[in-house]
Chains A and B, each alone.
Chain A
Amino acid sequence: MSKVSSTTLRDSLSVSLTVGAYGVAFGAAAVANGFTVLQSCLLSSLTFSGASQFAVIGVVGAGGSAISGIATASLLGVRNALYGVIMAPTLKVSRMTRIIAAQITIDESTAVALGQEVRGIKAMRRGFWYTGIGVFVFWNMFTLAGALGAQAMGDVRAFGLDSAVPAAFLGLVWPRLTGKFERILAICCAIFAIVMTPILPAGLPIIATAFIAIAVGLKR
């Protein structure tokens, strides 16, 4: 294996395992909120978007209607559409493959792919597929484990996973902060997201920063 692809594989595996292990918490939480093991696993394989999944079980488990659960989850899923727009020109897939590519278009696969940009378009594609499939496999395995064992290893904080995920995202954005302009944009978006978190529904502060990027990009 060439140096480039082994680096990409390493990045992908790190993210896949770290993020996938969170599936334990989701499986346990879903069962605790009244979903069956089968429904928990279906959410992980069919919805396959962590934030949306946590949102729907949280809302419905707290007594919310199916519609409000679906609406909250879908609001969080909007950013995956944005990721699709970003990834499509890089992936250039056929109609059939697009179905699979779409299903694994999530935060992590997009982030790792974009993190490979300096290594070229082939590395970006590999990063997307390795990470998307890797997270899918681990996320579903760990969801089943969590749902069955219900909270056997529920507290992910005791294993530092709650810090590993933001650290992974930081590691991915870091190489892109090439100039003063990029660094200022990053800090502004981070501050904006924090300030908006108590005000806007979960997920919206993240989506909103995309519009900051659009506004800044148009002006520049």
Chain B
Amino acid sequence: MSAQSMNTMWIATIGTSVIAFALKYSGHSVPERWLSHPKIQKINALIPIALLSALVAIQSFSEKSKLIIDQRILGLSVAIITLFLKAPFPVVVLSAAVSSAAVYRWV
């Protein structure tokens, strides 16, 4: 149990929630015409590729702010192989999970 007062926990809980929602809502409220330009459309198509690739990398090789190599590298490798074999999405996810769990438990 930490020495923090209950007030700190409540302020953190409510403050984080209010700002989280404000950020989400503001994104939805940007006028659509800002996004109709072809360049913006092009960028819109590229941003998810960038963000998703970064998420894959970070969730595979980091823990907090440290880089580590663990059982997840096997999960990722299996996912890549199944994707090359054109496996459906649940097969990709499940085979990555099963291989990673096996290494974590028994190696």
Footprint of B on A, CB under 8 Å? 10-11, 14, 18, 33-36, 39, 42-43, 46-49, 52-53, 56, 58, 60-63, 65-67, 69-70, 73-74, 77-89, 91, 93, 98-99, 101-103, 105, 107, 110-111, 114, 157-174, 176-177, 182, 185-187, 189-194, 197-198, 201-202, 205-206, 209-210, 212-214, 216-218, 220
B-side contacts of A74, CB under 8 Å: 16, 19-20, 23
Question: Known contacts A63-B2, A83-B27, A187-B53: does B59 contact A165 (CB below 8 Å)?
Answer: yes
A189–B101 alpha-carbon span in the complex (Å):
27
Footprint of A on B, CB under 8 Å? 1-4, 7-17, 19-21, 23-30, 32, 35, 39, 42-62, 64-67, 71-72, 74-76, 78-80, 83, 88-90, 92-94, 96-102, 104-105
Number of A-B contacts (CB under 8 A): 313
**Contacting pair B97 A77 (CB below 8 A):** no
- The main secondary structure of chain A at its interface with chain B is helix
List the 4 closest A-B pairs by CB distance, nearest first: A84-B27, A163-B75, A160-B97, A160-B101
Q: List 19 A-B contacts (CB under 8 A).
A: A10-B89, A10-B90, A35-B9, A42-B13, A47-B16, A47-B20, A48-B20, A58-B64, A60-B8, A63-B2, A86-B47, A88-B29, A163-B96, A164-B97, A169-B56, A170-B56, A193-B55, A194-B61, A214-B47
